[in-house]
Amino acid sequence: MKKIYGVMGDPVEHSMSPEIHNDAFTNHNINACYHHFQVRRAGLADAVRGMKAIGVSGFNVTIPHKEAIIPLLDEIDEIALAIGAVNTVVNREGKLIGYNTDGNGFLQALTDQYKSPLAGKKILLIGAGGAARGIYFSLVKEGAPNVDIANRTREKAEKLVVDCPYPKNSRALSITEAEQGLGDYDVIIHTTSVGMSPHIDASPIDISNIKKGAFVSDIIYNPLETKFLAEAKSSGADIQNGVGMFAYQAALAFEIWTGIFPDAVRMKEIVLKKLG
Ligand code: ATR
């Protein structure tokens, strides 16, 4: 019987996940299809019960349900629980199990392009929202403990450091403090929504005083080059946009569902073709 997968969110119709997963299912001769599931906040519990009742094999979870879905699932993977957000659910013999592939997806995209070992590097994470939590926990869990966090609301950065269950060497900073110390960082990662289409003229930080040879990553992929990335490039940085993270978080979800790690480069190309 054809297996059913999908992405649950609101809004969700713009998501490119169906294109990349359906292509991967075809590519691997898996008899499955992946849909958009528009689910309002108030309908989440019913939708999760419905997924179980009709035997959906797995689904992604996006805004605004990533946190709210946790108590509705049967089991939560350790890092997803620590992060407090789920972006991937698998149905294993009627049990819905939640995972978070955002942080490790980011890490795989980063190490694809940034070849130097991360362990001793000084890293600045800008933002302290859901995406930042996943990235921060994955970085420190994988042995890159020197991560400072700068956020508009500094208390949220402080909370993130406290919440992180893995050994780390982190400071919580204001944006101004981060700007003043920018030259210290080998890797700078931007995770807020500042600069995302249609607000493409905004940048979260003055990036002009970066270290020579710094690597600067933005998890935004629309536009492909944010104002922040363009300024980082002008200041001599190597840059990376969010397409790689998007492709790898999807590839890791596909692996959880099927046991097969798909061609993430092909996934990236589908996204680039659609955006370009
Ligand atoms: P996500 O799940 O995409 O990370 P989120 O949890 O709502 O979204 O987090 C949004 C992040 O973007 C936060 O770090 C937020 O800063 P605050 O904690 O101060 O709210 C940051 N952010 C959003 N709009 C911003 C703006 N105009 N200027 C600076 N930071 C902003």
pLDDT of residue 119: 94
pLDDT of residue 199: 95
CATH 3.40.50.720 residue ranges for the chain: 103-241
Pick the atom of ligand 1 nearest to 153's CA.
Answer: 19
Supply the Cα-derived Rg of the chain in whole angstroms.
Answer: 19
* Predicted-assembly ipTM surpassing the 0.90 threshold: yes
Length of the chain: 276
CATH number of 103-241: 3.40.50.720
What pTM was computed for the model? Answer: 0.95
Which amino acid is residue 151, in one-letter code? Answer: N
Q: Which residue has the tokens 């933002």?
A: 127
According to CATH, the topology of domain 3-100+244-275 is Rossmann fold (3.40.50)
CATH 3.40.50.10860 residue ranges for the chain: 3-100+244-275
Q: Is the pLDDT of residue 156 over 90?
A: yes
Mutational pocket test of ligand 1: of 192, 219, 246, the residue with most ligand atoms within 8 Å of the beta carbon = 192
Pick the atom of ligand 1 nearest to 128's CA.
Answer: 14
Distance CA 225, CA 97 (A): 35
Question: For 181-209, what is the mean pLDDT?
Answer: 96
Tell me, rounded to whole angstroms, the distance of Cα 55 from its chain centroid. 27
